[in-house]
Amino acid sequence: MGYSREVYDAATAVLEKRRAEARARAAALHEQVAARHPRVPEIEREMAQSAIQVARAVLDGRDVDAAVERIKDRNLALQAELAAILAQEGAGQTDFEPRYHCPRCEDTGYANGHVCDCFRALLREEAYRRLSYAGPMQEADFDSLRLEYYPDTPDSRTGVVPRTRMKEILTYCRCYAEDFDARSPSLLLRGPTGTGKTHVSLAVARKAVERGFGVVYGPVQMLLHRLEKEHFGRAEGNSEEMMTGCDLLILDDLGSEFSSPFYTSCLYNLINSRMLEARPTIISTNLGQSELMERYGEQITSRIIGTFVPLAFLGKDIRQIKLQQRIR
């Protein structure tokens, strides 16, 4: 499982902020109590000397047990005095210790040598937030895609019933998302505008993120424009590393981007690099095979057609259907 460096950095920053705030709150309380009760720092200094006093008693070698007992009794008396002062303030001795957001790892992100659940949760939240920024995640689940928008009569061109086809695609993609791992195949979601390709892509992305995988999603135009800005020094970042190294890359709406040799080169590098490293990619497009060949050439098209699992979407533009229903 591999989140991007940006996701790790953002989650780590949250942990650092939590830890700093917990320590600051404890220090502020201590300062307030000490200001009202000067005896508090005196007690703390005397208690801190206990270990030194015990060591001296041992070195002196004279009636060590009795000396240790006296020091112990004195410490207990000091603790009782401190507790009484704190009680006046409505506090306890533990209130001087930082109250961390996660007591298990004390907001470090690691407990007993392992990644803490709180850190995992932050990573998921940050990855989800970034994914939400790129797409309408509030609608991105399999259950919200309504099959009644798909015709239940055979398509005149293919003879396939769109609603039946969509049930099959949903079943396949739901299983794909629930079982997703580094060995999952790449998918080609192809079909007319408005038939649910982006919705299904985001639903897969959402489930993969919830399961802890690193996902980069975006319209092809947006992702390639980001690469262009970084390549020519107009922006900082490591987008190419993120796109080639993430667990799942989703290139939405291939064919809608501006056509340029640079974009085509970037697209080839992304697809080829991920194919060589056996990293799964999902591509959605309105283009057929001949249109892909005409626009991108054999190098890119052969890799997509030859290595991606094709899922052919059918039906009418659901966005237009919904718009017509609202007008009525």
Mean pLDDT lowest for which of 12-26, 89-103, 167-181, 215-229? 89-103
Q: Which residues have CB under 8 Å from 125's CB, separation 6+?
A: 11
Q: How many Å apart are CA 85 and CA 96, to the nearest integer?
A: 13
**CA distances, 108 to each of 99, 101, 265, 309 (Å):** 13, 10, 42, 42
Q: Which residue has the higher pLDDT, 61 or 299?
A: 299
Among 259, 257, 284, CA closest to 194: 284
Mean pLDDT lowest for which of 36-45, 203-212, 256-265, 316-325? 316-325
Q: How many Å apart are CA 127 and CA 120, to the nearest integer?
A: 11
Q: How many Å apart are CA 104 and CA 102, to the nearest integer?
A: 5
Are the C-beta atoms of 153 and 274 separated by less than 8 Å? no
Q: Which residue has the higher pLDDT, 229 or 136?
A: 229
- Provide the CB-side half-sphere exposure for 132 (13 A, CA): 10
214: left (phi over 0), alpha (psi -120 to 50) or beta: beta
pLDDT the model gives residue 13: 96
Q: How many Å apart are CA 126 and CA 5, to the nearest integer?
A: 11
Are the C-beta atoms of 96 and 26 separated by less than 8 Å? yes
Q: How many Å apart are CA 264 and CA 251, to the nearest integer?
A: 13
Are the C-beta atoms of 164 and 147 separated by less than 8 Å? no
What's phi and psi for 254, nearest 5 deg?
-60, 130
139-166 pLDDT per residue, tens: 678 998 889 999 999 988 889 999 999 9
pLDDT the model gives residue 277: 94
Most confident of the following: 74-78, 130-134, 199-203: 199-203
pLDDT band at 66 (very low <50, low <70, confident <90, very high): confident
Average pLDDT of the segment spanning 282-302: 96
Q: Sign of dihedral through CA atoms 89, 90, 94, 100?
A: negative
Structural domains of the chain ordered from first start: 17-102 (no CATH), 135-327 (3.40.50.300)
Say how many Å lie between the first and final Cα of the chain, rounded: 48
pLDDT band at 135 (very low <50, low <70, confident <90, very high): low
State pTM to two decimals: 0.70
Most confident of the following: 93-102, 207-216, 229-238, 303-312: 303-312
pLDDT the model gives residue 61: 67
Q: Which residue has the higher pLDDT, 322 or 240?
A: 240
Alpha helix stretches (DSSP H) within 135-256: 162-178, 197-210, 220-231, 239-245
Q: How many Å apart are CA 72 and CA 55, to the nearest integer?
A: 13
CB atoms within 10 A of CB 299: 12
pLDDT the model gives residue 327: 72
- Two structure tokens written together for 121: 């949760």
3-state secondary structure of 159: coil
pLDDT the model gives residue 299: 94
- Two structure tokens written together for 185: 């195949």
216-233 pLDDT per residue, tens: 888 999 999 989 998 888
pLDDT band at 125 (very low <50, low <70, confident <90, very high): confident
What's phi and psi for 286, nearest 5 deg?
-90, -5
Among 231, 303, 238, CA closest to 274: 303
What's phi and psi for 294, nearest 5 deg?
-65, -40
